[in-house]
């Protein structure tokens, strides 16, 4: 004898299962819309684009999400800001680096002469003995006038260097 099959109980269980699946699908759909809106808000300040992204996902569902993923901006606003800061830091580091005008080797600010190519980098104040840039005609430390150099970036021969140290 076949078991009793209650069609009404089966249809109630089927209706409950369909309802659970439908509610889960609806929750997924709403969460995709919210996610697309928030993601676009993190990538753009334009409110129209934010609403458009959410609308495309709301109307087209999964295909709309794929379209949004293809067309959305590559980086978020915070990633763009961090990249900009990194670029500025690198540029500042490059600008702060001092190089010899004669051979482009890296030099220190306290050097009077380049140890690689012997190009004169700084001169010493006759009054206070502070290091000065070659074109300066007056010392910013003691206000004493400076003699004009013969050649700003001329190379110093070993004989010139010995005569300077003796003077």
- The predicted model gives 77-81 an average pLDDT of 96
Residue 149 has pLDDT above 70, yes or no: no
13 by Cβ neighbours in 10 Å (0-12 / 13-18 / 19+) ranks as exposed
Across all residues in the chain, what is the average pLDDT?
A: 86
Nearest to 58 by CA among 40, 43, 73: 40
- The predicted model gives 54-64 an average pLDDT of 96
- The predicted model gives 75-98 an average pLDDT of 90
Q: pLDDT class for 126, splitting at 50, 70, 90? A: confident
- Percent of the chain with pLDDT strictly greater than 90: 53
Nearest to 65 by CA among 46, 41, 40: 40
Q: What residue segments make up the domains of the chain, in order of their start?
A: 11-77, 92-158
Select the more confidently predicted residue: 158 or 122. Answer: 122
Task: Give whole-number Cα distances, 99 to 6, 36, 109, 133, in Å.
Answer: 92, 50, 10, 14
Q: Could you tell me the two tokens for 56?
A: 């495309």
What is the pTM assigned to this prediction? 0.55
Q: pLDDT class for 150, splitting at 50, 70, 90? A: low
Q: Are 147 and 125 in contact (CB under 8 A)?
A: no
CA distance 15 to 21: 10
**What is the structure's pLDDT at 164?**
47
């Amino acid at each position: 004898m076949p078991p009793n099959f209650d069609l009404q109980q089966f249809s109630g269980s089927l209706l409950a299962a369909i309802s659970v699946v439908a509610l889960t699908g609806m929750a997924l759909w709403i969460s995709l819309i919210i996610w697309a809106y928030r993601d676009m808000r993190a990538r753009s300040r334009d409110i129209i684009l934010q609403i458009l992204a959410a609308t495309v996902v709301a109307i087209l569902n999964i295909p709309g999400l794929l379209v949004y993923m293809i067309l959305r901006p590559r980086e978020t606003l915070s990633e763009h800001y961090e990249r900009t800061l990194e670029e500025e830091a690198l540029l500042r580091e490059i600008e702060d680096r001092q190089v010899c005008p004669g051979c482009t080797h890296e030099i220190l600010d306290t050097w009077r002469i380049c140890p690689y190519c012997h190009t004169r980098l700084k001169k010493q104040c006759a009054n206070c003995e502070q290091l000065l840039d070659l074109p300066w005609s007056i010392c910013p430390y003691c206000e004493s006038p400076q003699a004009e150099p013969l050649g700003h970036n001329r190379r110093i021969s070993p004989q010139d260097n010995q005569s300077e140290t003796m003077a």
